[in-house]
Structure formats: C-alpha cells, structure tokens
A and B are shown apart, each in its own frame.
Chain A
Amino acid sequence: MVTLDLSQLDITQANEKIRQCGREGVDVEIINPDARHNIGVGLVDPITVKVKGSAGYFCGGLSDGAHYEIESNVGWAVGDNIYTGSVVVGGNAGAIAGVAIRGAEIVIHGNMGSRAGQVMKAGTLCCGGNAAFMSGYMMYGGRIIILGDAAEKVGQDMSAGEIFIGGEIESLGNDTEIVDMAPGDLESINEFLDRYGMSFSGQFTKVVSAGKKLRYGNSEPRTRPQPFFISSQSSSYWNAKVQEDIWIKGEVGRYRIRGYGASKPVPHLNDIAFARDITQAPSDASVLEGINLRTKVGGRFGAKPLDLSMPVMIAPMSFGALSRSVKIALARASRLSGISESTGEGGMLDEQREEADQLIFQMLSGRLGWNIKDMLRADALEIYISQGAKPGLGGQLMAKKVTPELAKIRGIPEGIDLRSPSRHPDVLGADDLVIKVDELREATGHKKPLGIKMGAGRVNDDIKIAYKDGFDFVELDGLQGSTGAASTEVLENVGIPTLSAIQEAVDGLAEIEAKGDMHLVLMGGIKDGIDAVKMLALGAHCVSIGTAAMIAGGCIACMQCHVGSCPVGIATQDKGHEARYDIDRQAQNIHRYFESVRWQMAAITKALGYDDVHSINRDDLVALTPEAAEMTGLRYVPGQRDNTQHDDKLTDLSRKAG
C-alpha cells in the first residue's frame, strides 16, 4: 500500500503515481483528497484505491479493472464510463453517478443525485439512500438498485436494462413501465447487497423500458433520389420532389430520412477562384518536388501532435454507419497516404487500429464504444458536440444496421432505431466542458492532442468557447457535411455553409486575439485538392474529407445509406452486402484518390509561386459570386476564369480507368 498526500501533490502528479502503482500491482491510499476532481481516472490495472475523505468530479472515471473506495462523498459522474471494476462511496454522490458504466459495480451508501446511470450499458449501480430525478435516463442496459425513494421520471427514455426501487417512485419516465419481478431478480439483488455489506427487507418495484419509442412506428417507403435540379429550380416551386416528400409524410407522419449532406445548392468553395490563372501549372519537373505539405495538428499544450504528410484527414465516420470492411480500407488508405483516420461514433476496431498509423478516437454523447483502452491506443482524441449534417441532434443509426455485432461493440440492445443523445451527460455548457477536458487529459496523461468536433452554427461564438475550453484543434463541419442517416429537414436546413463556417471561425478567433495555436480543421463538402487549398487559404490549418473518400472507394452517391442495404457494401451491416466490397482494391482506390489530392495541392502551390501550401492566403483568392464574396469578404471578381466549355476529357478519363 502506497500513501499519496494530495496536499503535497497536484492531481496530475498523483494520477501518474497511481498509474505507476497500478503497473506494479500496489494498492494506493489517498489522504487529504480535499474533493479534488479526477482522482484515479484512466487507471487500467486491478488495484484498489482508497480515498480518505471526499472526491470531486469523475472519481475513478474512465478506468477499467480498478477498485475505488471513497470514505465520504463524491462529486458528479463518479465512476464515469468504467468498464469493469468497482466504486464504493461511503457518503453521497452528485449527479450522473455511474454514467455510461459498461460492467462496473458502483455502490453509493448515501443518496445520489439526478440522472444516475445515464446511458449506462451494463453493470450495477446501487444506491443505499434516495435517488434524485431521472434515474436511469436513457440507459441502454445493466441494473440500477435504489433502496430508498426515486424522484420523478424514473427510467426516462431508457432503451433497456432494469431499475429496482425499494421505496416510493415519484413518477415514471417516458416509455417505461412497471413489471413483475422475474424469478431470480431478488436473489441476484440480495447476493449483490451481501457482497457490499448492505441489506434490504422491503418490496422492490421493477421498472423497464416499455419499448414503444425504440423504433419508428412505420417505415418510410424507399425511393431513389430524384436529380437535385428537379428540386432546386425556383421556377417550379411545387416540383416533383416537393410533392413526393409531402405524399410520403402523409403516409408516415414524420420527417423523411436519408444519407449524405445538404443536397440543395449552397454557396461553396467552387464559388471562389484563385486570383491568378493557374491552369498552366508547370508539368516539367515533378509536381510534388520541393513543395511542403507536411502538417502537424494539435500541439497546443505539449501533446504529441498528429504528423500528417499533407493537411488532410479522413473524416470521422462510424463503424455502424459503414461496414467493417470499409473502415479497414479507410484505415489502410490513411496509412498509405500518411494521413489520419478517425473512429467516428461507436468504438474502435482492432483491424482499424492495426491498419492506421494515426487514428483519432471520437467520443460521443451516447458513450457508444467509448472506453479508456481505446483512448490510450489512439493517437488523438476528439470530443463530439455535433456534426454538420445534423447539428443539434445525436447520431442516428437505423435498426437494420444495429446488428448483434454492432450492438455488442456499442453496448446497446440490437435492432433498435438508435438515436444517440443530443448532448453529453456531463456537458451542459461551456464550463462543464472545461472540466471534461481536464478529465480526458488526466486519464491519458496529457499526451494526446484533444480536439472538438462541431457542426457549424454560431461559429463566431462557439469557436471562442472552444479556444477558452482548451482544445488543441477543432473539426468544424459545415452544412454540406454528410452522414449515414438524418432527417432531410435537418440536413438541408440546420447549420451554415462550410464557406461561412471558416470565415466566422477565423474572425471569431481574431476577435479574441487567439494565437493561431488552436488548429482549425474544416470539413463539409471538401472534394479535392483544389477545395482543400482554398480552405487553407481562407484560414484552415487542415481539411477533413469523408464523402469524397467514400466515393473514391466505390460509393455511387445514391444517398440511401440509411436503408442498410448498400448496393456496394459500404453503408451496410448486412454480411451479404458487405461481401460486395473488395477491401484491397478499394483501399488502393482511396489511397490513389488522396495521392491525387496531394498532387493537386502541390501543383496549385507551385503554380501560385510558393513552396509551402500553408503560405497560400486570402490574397490568392477571389469570389466569383456575390454570395461567396459576402460570406468570406473576398474581393468579388465575377468571371475570374471564364467558364470554358464543359470539357469531356474528364469523362473519357474516368471511363478508361474504369
């Protein structure tokens, strides 16, 4: 047993020592904890940590296998996201005790705060006293035992799992019901209580999901999309697309769902041009020679930055929305091209980790597949607030894709229409996020760049908060950002175009005199090296490419990703359809696509007379439309490069290559 005195050590030093004890298999006693936040976070060895006093936020959070005993009280989110292991609290716990646990046992001898067990997946959360409102809020599995009373909305929007209440229930939550105790329930509870030296002699009331909201009531008729120009000709206001939408809403009574991003015309990067004619780029020497594209992302606070061969990332896309094969192909392509890949929502695959050299781990509100071990083996971390396709909403995965395999990695029931929560249980505002950032950095020893992903909304404000909250980089996703499933209404109508997003971000950071050390990674409709260079010239440090990489790897843009029967095996969890995807071939295609992006960036850099892509700047751009000029403040020069006749060379090329 090693004793650590928190009056002598700061929390980072203490956590470093606790982890060292873990590696050595030595238990730890903490004295003078003084309700410090993040005690023992990120521990992955099965030692016992005894806290002689009270602990602050996130005590024992993001750990796996360790045991924590806290003599007195804890702050919010005790045991946050623990996989296995236990936490025993002698006194009371704050809000969201046992949030997102995935097999751990959390015992609180006193009372616990609101939203206890929010989005938990497995394990047991037991409270000896009373529970505040919304116990088991959006829980996906596991068991909550409350020996005392439960305040209002017990089990609000729970998908699965069981809540046993020994005392009074003030009210039940949405979509819950009371059922009889099953054989074995009581024995199992008593066994648990015995182990933790507790007992209960009254009657339990068992609350479970009523299951009425887990699936959309009736399914939307499948239709292939009509060409976009049908719906974007103002001459035909009640066009065929509008009529189809209304007809189908008459049938299903709700918004329609599809994949991809905003489909309507939006001012975009192809409404700006280079101020000089660069069509006669030099082709004598190697285009790539002597041009620096290498880009580091995320070293603002001393973490080891991502080191990219060019300022390009693969956008976060989940295993779930995409098939396993596609995630493997993307990861391999990222390695071959020296750029980064991202897990997206829903966890990290071993094959993906093996294939990718640089992998960003995304952390989302539903805590699906989020765990400390994957955080530790990631090269960067990214907390998801929202995305360009559906900002304000959580991820959406239709039941056809929630297969047993997928459900297992995410820790959720199979076959539900998964609608992830819209906000993190522990991020209700900017200040919470500061504390969350601390926890994430503590749990990973301050070694990994930490980013934030946001759909573009009030960028001018949001970017300042992100800067002050201490992120290394921001992935900012415009209106055109795509997804595997979202309401078409949100896809088309919520969020601002990528072009305005970069401008507001740059302006916002300038207003607070930020030092340029928080890197802006822009995404949402970036299709090639030309778009990427323009984005960099407007002030981005890097771009992130998703849909275009999908297309390079065989996506035919039918926009039916949500259906789950992807004809080319990309957006599917159906093994038969996935078999249509040739990983080796498509990984090479995606790789070649990124190499073409590199070629384009180098050629443009050279043609503009620079030797570093990051030297290109706003002066190299002009706006071709009044909208683009207004959004970016660029000089309006209509017809900068006169629209030459549509060239059919391209089509011949793409065909020959097959």
Chain B
Amino acid sequence: MSFDHSVTATTDLVDDRNDLHYVPAPCQVACPVGTDAPSYIAYIWQGEYEKALEAINATNPFSAICGRVCDAPCEPACRRADSDDAIAIRNLKRHVLDSLGSDFALPPVAVTQSKTVAIVGAGPAGLTAAQDLAEAGYEVHVYEATDRPGGMMVWGIPRFRLPEGVIEQDIQRMSRHCPGIKIHLNSALGDQVTLGELKQNHDALLMAIGASVGKTMNLPGESQPFVKDGVGFLHRINAGERPHLPETVLVIGGGDVAMDACRAVKRLPGVKSVKVIYRRDAEAMPARAEELQGAIDEGIEMVYNTQPISVVDGRAIRCLRTEMGEADTDGRRRPVEVAGSEHDIECGLVIAAVGQKAKCAELEAHGLMAEDRVKAIFEGMVTEDQMIFAAGDGGFGGSTIVEAMNHGHRAAYYMKAFLQGNENPLPYKTPYRTRRVEICNDPLWEINPRVHQEFSGLGENPIEFAEIESTYTASEAKVEAARCFRCDAETGSADFTVESRESIFAMARMTSEQDDQQQQILDSRLENRVDPFGTEHIATLDDLVFLPANLSRLVIDPYREECKTRTELGANRHLVLDIPFIVTGLDNAPAEISDAYGKSIANAGAACLGRRGIEGAKWLQIVDDKVDSAADAVVFEADTVLAAGSVEKSTQQPAGLLVNNSNVEQAIDFGLAHELDFLVLDASGGLPGLDAEFTAAPDLSIIRRAVKHLRQLNCEEEIDLVYFGGLRTGTDSAKVLALGAIAVVIGASAVLALGADISSGSPKFSSELSHVERKQRSANLLQAFNSEASMMARCTGKTNLQNLEPEDLRAITLIASKTVGIPMSGSLEIHQT
C-alpha cells in the first residue's frame, strides 16, 4: 500500500484561513490540534481512506489511540449536536485507523541539525514535541522513567478502552518516521539522569513529566490502607495486575480517571458493587458523557451530590449531601453541603480519583517546581531557565491526550524558535487546514440518525478486559459520514457565503455589552469583498435578468396559464415549429444518440440542424455540397456564399446563412439582397461541431451586431435571426429570444443530457443509458428548455414566447450592458459599444 506523503513530509503546517471560501468548522476549532475532521469525514464517504488517514494524522501523531479514547471535544462542538446528534467523529477516525492504520507509514526524516534536544517524559506531550522537533531535523532524546513509552496513555487507560497494540501502532509509526528520536526507557530524571547532565549534553530541554501522583482528599482517616489513589490503582492494573477486591468499592471523583477506575474495578474478581461518589450533579460531571454512560451501562451506581467528609475506621466513608449553589469564579456551580445530612456509605475499598499532580525532586531541587507542577508560563511554554521548556499535565495541570498533544506542538514551536535564536517569536496558533473535499451527496443526509457503535460492556468474562465497543462497518461509516453538515465548506450561495454565514452565527452568540467582540465583527464585516466581476469578466447570459410583471403589467400565472410557443421561422418562406428549439451537434454522434433525438424532436415539434438529417425530425440542412430536397430548410455557410457572390436556393425551402462574428454585417447585406429567410448566428463558432461551444463562453456581441445592423437598414422584419452558442437552460434561450432571435439552437446541453463526457473537450458517449432512457432524456431536455423559457415569458407578463423583447431584460454588469445593449438595472441607461 502506498500513501501520498506530499503534505505530511513538510514541517511547516499550512494554515488555510486566508482562503475566502473556507472557515474552519466548529469541530476543527474545538480540536486542540485542529484536526481537519470535515475533510476526513468527507473522504470516508468517498471511500478514500488513505486520504482520510493523511488528514487525521497530519497534526495528530496518536491517531490510532485517539480513534478510541480521545476526549473528542469535536463532538459536543458539532453543530449537528444541536439538532439530532453529533457526528461520531471519533469512531469514524477509529474506523479508518482500524482499516488502514497498521499499514500506514510516514517517510523517514533525517537529522539535519547539529543541536540536540532532551525531552523528559514519553507521554503524548513529550512525544508530540519530539516528532515536531525531529521533523525539523533535530536529534531528540526522550527520557522515560517507566519501562514503556506512552505516559498516561499506557498507564492511565485500561485495556478495555485501549487494547494492546494500538499504542504500539502509533509509537512505531513515529519511530520509523523519526529515526532521530531516541527513547531512553527506565531513565527517571534525578535517578538515572540529572538535570545538569541534560543541560550539558543538549541545547534545549522539555519537561513533559506528566502528573502521575494521585492527589489526596485531605480527609480525616484518609491514610488507612483501604484508601487508594486512582492513578496509582490504574497503574497497577495497566501493568497487568488483576487483584481480588472487596465486595463493595467506592470511587471518589467525577473525572475520566474516576470513570476508568470504577470500570476497571467492576471487572475485577470479588467485586459485587461499585459506586461513584461525586459532589456535584450529573450535569456538572467532567467525565465524557459517553464514558459516564458506559459506566452506568456496565452496572456502576452513580451517587451524585455527595461530599465525603471523613473516612470511618476500616469500613465506610462519611458523607454529606450537597445542593448545587451559585456559580463559582470558574463558572461551575459550587456544591453546597446540606447541614445535618451526615451518612455513612459502607465499603471495603475506597479509590480516590480526585486529581493528579506532578512530582519531581530533581526539578524541585533546582527551584523549577511550583506546588504541584513545573513552574512555567503558557505563553512561550518556558520555565525560568530559558533553555528549559514545559508541556503536558506536569506543566499545566491535568488535561486530555489531545490537549497534551497541543502542548507538545506549542512547546516544539517555541523550542525551535529558541534553537534558531529567535527570541521573540510570534505567538503560536493552532493551524487550520482544509483539504477542500467535495461535499457528499447522500439523499438521506438530513434524515439518518447517528449510527451507534455496538457496545459490549463487560463482555462474557470481565477480567479479560475485552474491548467495550466495536467500530463501524464500511457501510455504516458511509452513512454516518454523510450526516456531516460540512460547516467548513463554501455554501452554494454567493450571497450567503460560508464567511457571511459564520459572522451571522457569531453575531447571534455575543451580547451588546461585549463591545470588543462586536467591534471585531464590525471591522471584519466592513472589509471590502473582491469585485465579483472585475476587469477580466466577460459578458454572459448570467449577467442579464428578466423584469417580472407586478403592477405595471398584468401578471400571468406561470404555473397554469398558457404560453404560446409556435414559431414561424423564415421571413419569406416559413418553417413552422411548435417550439422555437433546434438541436444540433448530432452529425457525428452515434446512431443511438441521434435516433433518440429524432423521435423527441419530432414529438416536441422542434427541428434539428446539421449536415445530416435525422429520421422523423424536421431538418435544417447545413449545406456543404448540395441541397438535399428532403431538408425542411437549408443553411449555407456565409463565408462560402460571400466568396462565391451567389447562392442557389430552391423556391420552396426556407433558406438561411450560417454567420459568425467575422462576417455578420456582410452576411446580413447578402441575405437581404438575396431575399434569404433567416440567419443562424453562431456565437460560439464551429457549427455544426460542438467543440468550440464546449471550449468557451459564447460571444454575445454577435446578436447585438446583427440587430443593430438590421435596425440601421430598417430591415428588422425582412430576415429572421436564429441563435446558437452556450445555451445551458431554457432561461438562457429566453434571454436570446428577448434579444431578438426567433429560434435558438442547442448543442452542448442536448448531448450533456444524454450523458456525454466532455472532459476531453469533445463529447464522448457511453452505452450506460438504455434506449428508453435516452429517448426519455432527450424528450425531457426539450420539454425542460421549453417550459423554462415559457416560464420566463409568463413571469414578464407575456403569453407568447415570441413576444419577449429587449425591454423585458436588464443587465447587472456593465460589460453585459455594453455587449448586448441592454440597460443596467437601476440606471435605465443603455451603454453604447
């Protein structure tokens, strides 16, 4: 299997916020490492797992681990969480890693710098920094106190959530990618290595020592042996111990450690009842909702609003009931003890999971420790010693894996600056990238509910610590991925762009008192937009709009009232059509295509234009050799007859000229002189072939030149105009009819409706459609064009398509106004070319 490494091999991460069509999605912003979740989700829908994996791994070296145990702040931030349910962003990640993770490798990066770095602690913060620094070419020595790399990912998370092999997968990938990372196991700071040695041997140091010492509850009687601390307990369990425990076990605390501890206990022999004692209510619990639910589902009892006040000799915890009080300075509501509510909760073991702290005698001896963490400032991630940096739980308090990775990225950023002698680097900012993945098109994206993972909980034999849940199948993943709102992607509206939508969202989430935020939004909204038309813009039919009937004209009901479409083509001799549409470009098309159109053209009362006729359909013959008596009208190429100075027309067949931008006026003069009936204005060039039409937008000036010349000659009624070039809709057609054509020729649209592939520049057909489908599609296209054109006529108050007139149109760009001679809306002035 091969992967595209073009992006991940670079060390400087790209930030895409300057892209006018991109705003990072809430999930991406919520992710401390800025994971491009919308892109990887969209790639999953497309089945492009390798690309998904690249997007996942780009800023997250522990992708496999995070696919299972990330705190996933992206999910509560997901906008769909506010409507039915958040996208299962984490499990989608796991699905990709489970599918491809073990094969996923990144190319090795060599050591290119002479300076080296020491990192103390091989947890998520330390190793993330190690990878960033190694990618920048530094040799990195990681000193790990225990016998395994991974930090709390190894020692804190039980195997039923994070099975064997997953951590190894991520760490091995990193090791192969960064040979410059040397991990020294069993090398505790202060024991095996000293700070002095590190400072001497390396050019910068990172203290990512973690917070692996459980805090105490500060309760009377806490030192009794039946009271254990949560991290210590989990460390033993994760080292492989499976102790026999008393029947009833209490876990004190409401965080993730408490959840992991209580669930581990539940699986151990001897245990019958596990209770979690938490001083606030369920809503205030810091544990991830999914972990909490998992614990409840596994039969663990949650005892909320209960504050332990002492440990009763060898048998119980004494508690008070609490009520939720006023919000504290941190915004969380304070638990207020209820006087006289003392009660004892009996138990055989207490596990206190009330927080962790860092401890390091060596750093303390050097004055680098604050009370329970390394003394460092978050801006710069640096300690009082300018070559020593800090990151992770040990530096900034207990957090999650993904926050620790953010610390690692930040620390690496500032360390690189230090190593390069940049004393005042710009503040670190999490980069946001987008891979600009197409939005997925699943018809049920609005409806489908979240696909849930299969949850097996304790499993058949709890002590085995079997994994609690499975991941998606490929088809489940696709359904789930389709649900993504794609908050990052540009909208379909140039008016309500993704950027304007997001500023409205922001406006709706701040108060009038927040003057600074209001001012920021005001300033950003005052920025000028890029001129949507600019100097390069060429006039297209999109630049014209119809004027609807309101009060000054009788409104015609486009849903119901009739609109006549009968067309008499030809000023002298007529070709009568039921609808003013002529299909072209079928001369060289496979017989299946032209046959399908033949019947549809005949049924619709339209006609075809080309060197060859199609059986059943009225035919305007483009004459290359001689006139075919079977043709219903004939079209001579203007250049040919102008050169010859004469034309051989028959007395019955209406006759016209095929005109292009090089010969409009001469062709008109010739046509009038020879009493021809019509002109086919080829605005794209190249008729009867379609390649030119596919190549570029039509040159609309041809129709204005023709009308203008005829008007100057006062001969507007003497010869009819048929238009060809770039007609994509019935509306385009109606605009051309309003500009002065009596009928229109459609080419590219006609073949696209039958599935032509135009990627090569010329239409190519495949046998994918059946004969019935081709017939139906060709009929449908003509019907759609005619009904759209008629709708436009009726909107302007006309009951006959042929009554459309220039006065029904306005231009919305100056170039279009000049090109076709239609006034600008608002100004009512016609611009002369």
Q: Which of A54-62, A199-207, A251-259, A368-376 participates in binding chain B?
A: A251-259
Q: Please tell me if the beta carbons of B496 and A393 are within 8 angstroms of each other in the complex.
A: no
The reply to whether the CB of A494 lies closer than 8 angstroms to some CB of chain B is: yes
Partner of A462, one of B17, B511, B525, B552: B552
Check: A652 CB closer than 8 A to any chain B CB. yes
Residues of B within 8 A of A225 (CB): 439, 491-493
Q: Is there a chain B Cβ closer than 8 Å to A616's Cβ?
A: no
B520 on the interface (CB 8 Å rule)? yes
Our pick among B446, B504, B825 for the contact of A563 (Cβ within 8 Å) is: B446
Partner-binding segment picked from B370-378, B627-635, B663-671, B791-799: B791-799
Of A227, A238, A250, A569, the residue contacting B21 (CB under 8 A) is A227
Give complex CA distance A388, B358 in Å.
Answer: 64
A547 at the interface (CB under 8 A from B): yes
Contact A458 B533 (CB under 8 A): no
A73 at the interface (CB under 8 A from B): no
Q: Does A46 contact B (CB under 8 A)?
A: no
B560, A288: Cβ atoms closer than 8 Å: no
> At the interface with chain B, which of A18-26, A112-120, A403-411, A522-530?
A522-530
Question: Does B645 have its Cβ within 8 Å of any Cβ on chain A?
Answer: no
A567 in contact with B445 (CB, 8 Å) = yes
A278-B526, A490-B795 as given contacts; A232 in contact with B500, CB under 8 Å: no
In the complex with contacts A394-B559, A496-B825, A455-B545 CB distance below 8 A: no
Known contacts A422-B557, A458-B547, A654-B509; is A279 also within 8 Å of B526 by CB?
yes
A490:B506 contact, CB within 8 angstroms: no
Measured CB to CB, the closest approach of chain A to B430, in angstroms, equals 10
Give bound CA distance, A558 to B441, whole Å.
12
Q: Is the CB of B552 within 8 A of A255?
A: no
Q: Is B460 an interface residue (CB 8 A)?
A: no
Interface members, chain B 466-500 (any A CB < 8 Å): 485, 487, 489-500
Asked if A237 and B726 make an inter-chain contact with CB atoms under 8 angstroms apart, the answer reads yes
How many residues on A have C-beta within 8 angstroms of the other chain's C-beta atoms?
A: 155
Contact partners of B826 in chain A: CB under 8 A: 496-497, 499-501, 503-504, 630-632
For the complex formed, measure the closest distance between the CB of B525 and the CB atoms of chain A, giving whole angstroms: 5
A556-B749 Cα distance, complex, nearest whole Å: 32
A255 touches B784 (CB 8 A): yes
Report the minimum CB–CB distance from B753 to chain A (whole Å). 3
For A263, the closest partner residue in chain B by CB is: B493
B694 within 8 Å of A (CB atoms): yes
User: Chain A, 566-609, contact with B by CB distance < 8 Å: what is the 0/1 string?
Assistant: 11110000000100111001000110110111111001100000
B149 on the A face (CB < 8 A): no
Among B56-64, B95-103, B774-782, the stretch in contact with A: B774-782
**Complex alpha-carbon distance, A581 and B20, angstroms:** 30
Highest count of chain B CB atoms <10 Å: which of A501, A625, A651 = A651
* Proximity string of chain A (307-340) to chain B, C-beta cutoff 8 Å, 1 when within and 0 when not: 0000000000000000000000000000000000
A559 lies within 8 A of chain B by Cβ: yes
Say whether B503 faces chain A, with CB atoms less than 8 Å apart. Answer: yes
Pick the most buried of A252, A267, A392: most chain B CB atoms within 10 A of its CB: A392
Give every chain A residue within 8 A of B366 (Cβ-Cβ).
none
User: Are B501 and A497 interface neighbours, CB within 8 A?
Assistant: no
B729 within 8 A of A: yes
Give residues of chain A (239-260) contacting chain B, Cβ–Cβ below 8 Å: 242-243, 245-247, 249-255, 260
Are A223 and B441 neighbours in the complex by a CB distance under 8 Å?
A: yes
C-beta contact mask, B785-817 vs A, less than 8 Å → 1, else 0? 101100110111100000000000010111001
A392-B446 CB under 8 A given contacts A237-B726, A246-B753, A496-B812: no
B747 to chain A, nearest CB (A): 11
Is residue B558 within 8 Å, beta carbon to beta carbon, of the partner chain? yes
Whether B741 is near chain A, meaning CB under 8 Å from some CB there, is: no
Q: Assess the B506–A653 pair: CB atoms within 8 A.
A: yes
Interface hit among B79-87, B166-174, B414-422, B652-660:
B79-87
**A281 interface residue per 8 A CB criterion:** yes
Pair B812/A266 contact, Cβ less than 8 Å: yes
Residues from chain A with a CB closer than 8 A to the CB of B83 are 554, 567-569, 580-581
A247 to B784, CA, bound (A): 11
Is the pair A249, B533 in contact by a Cβ cutoff of 8 Å?
no
Of B126-134, B270-278, B535-543, the one contacting chain A is: B535-543
Cβ B446 vs Cβ A560 within 8 A: yes
A90 part of interface (Cβ distance < 8 Å)? no
Q: How many angstroms between the C-alpha atoms of A556 and B492 in the bound complex?
A: 11
- A228 CB contacts on chain B under 8 angstroms: 490-494, 497
Q: Does A168 contact B (CB under 8 A)?
A: no
- Report A463-475 CB contacts with B as 1/0, cut-off 8 Å: 0011001000000
| CA gap between A475 and B526 in the complex, in Å | 26
A653 pairs with B521, CB closer than 8 A: yes
* Residue contact B812 to A462, C-beta cutoff 8 Å: no
Across the interface, do B500 and A527 meet the contact criterion of CB distance under 8 Å? yes
B550–A458 touching, CB < 8 Å: yes
A250-B781 in contact (CB<8A): yes
Report yes or no: B780 in contact with A252, Cβ–Cβ below 8 A: yes
| Chain B residue nearest in CB terms to A249 | B784
Could you mark each residue 437-464 of chain A with 1 if its beta carbon is under 8 Å from any beta carbon of chain B, else 0?
A: 0000000000000000011011011100
What is the distance, in angstroms, from B251's C-beta to the closest C-beta of chain A? 31
Contact residues of B: prevailing secondary structure? loop
Q: Which residues of B contact A31 (CB under 8 A)?
A: none
A599 contacts across to B, CB distance below 8 A? 512, 518, 522
B514 CB to closest chain A CB (Å) equals 9
**In the complex, what residues of B have CB within 8 A of residue A458's CB?**
547, 550, 552-553
Question: What's the Cα separation between A560 and B444 when bound, in Å?
Answer: 12
Pick the residue among A465, A560, A593, A647 that contacts B551 (CB under 8 A).
A465
Could you say which residues of chain A place their CB within 8 Å of the CB of B537?
234
CB <8 Å contact, A654 and B526: no
The reply to whether the CB of A65 lies closer than 8 angstroms to some CB of chain B is: no
Contact residue among A238, A288, A597 (Cβ-Cβ distance under 8 Å from B748): A238
- CB-CB under 8 A from B497, the residues of chain A are 228
CB distance from A484 to the nearest CB of B (A): 14
**In this complex, what residue of A is CB-closest to B524?**
A650
Name the residue on B nearest A597 (C-beta).
B507
What chain A residues lie within 8 Å of B14 (beta carbons)?
none
Question: Complex: how many Å from CA A567 to CA B482?
Answer: 12
The answer to whether A264 and B441 touch (CB under 8 A), given A255-B788, A528-B507, A651-B24, is: no
State whether A655 touches B24 (Cβ < 8 A).
Answer: yes
Does A433 interact with chain B (Cβ within 8 Å)? yes
Interface residues in B278-295 by Cβ distance below 8 A to A read none
Q: Does A479 sit at the interface, judged by CB under 8 A?
A: yes
Contact mask for chain A residues 271-288; partner B; CB cutoff 8 A; 1 contact, 0 none: 101100011010100011
Other-chain residue from A232, A274, A556 in contact with B532 (beta carbon distance below 8 A): A232
Cα separation A651 to B485 with both chains bound (whole Å): 17
A654 with B502: CB separation less than 8 A: yes
> Which among B80, B784, B817 has the highest number of chain A CB atoms within 10 Å?
B784
Select one of B80, B510, B524, B528 contacting A643, CB under 8 A.
B528
Q: Is there a chain B Cβ closer than 8 Å to A385's Cβ? A: yes
Q: How far is the CA of A552 from the CA of B559 in the complex (A)?
A: 33
| Chain A positions within 8 Å of B379 at CB level | none
From known contacts A250-B780, A454-B551, infer whether A234 and B540 are also in contact, taking CB-CB under 8 Å: yes
Q: Are A457 and B547 in contact (CB under 8 A)?
A: yes
Given A227-B489, A563-B446, A592-B507, answer yes or no on A253-B554 (Cβ-Cβ < 8 Å). no
Question: Is B363's CB within 8 Å of the partner chain A?
Answer: no
How far apart are A232's CB and chain B's nearest CB, in angstroms?
6
CB of B531 closer than 8 Å to a CB of A: yes
Known: A559-B493, A567-B80, A631-B825. A553 touches B508 (CB 8 A): yes
Contacts of A249 in B (CB 8 A): 753, 780-781, 784-785
Q: Which residues of B contact A253 (CB under 8 A)?
A: 779-781, 783-784, 787
B23 CB to closest chain A CB (Å) equals: 5
6 contacts between A and B (CB under 8 A): A238-B728, A270-B528, A391-B550, A423-B557, A489-B730, A556-B79
8 further contact pairs, Cβ within 8 A, besides A247-B752, A250-B780, A654-B502: A227-B489, A228-B494, A254-B788, A392-B556, A458-B547, A497-B545, A558-B446, A577-B447
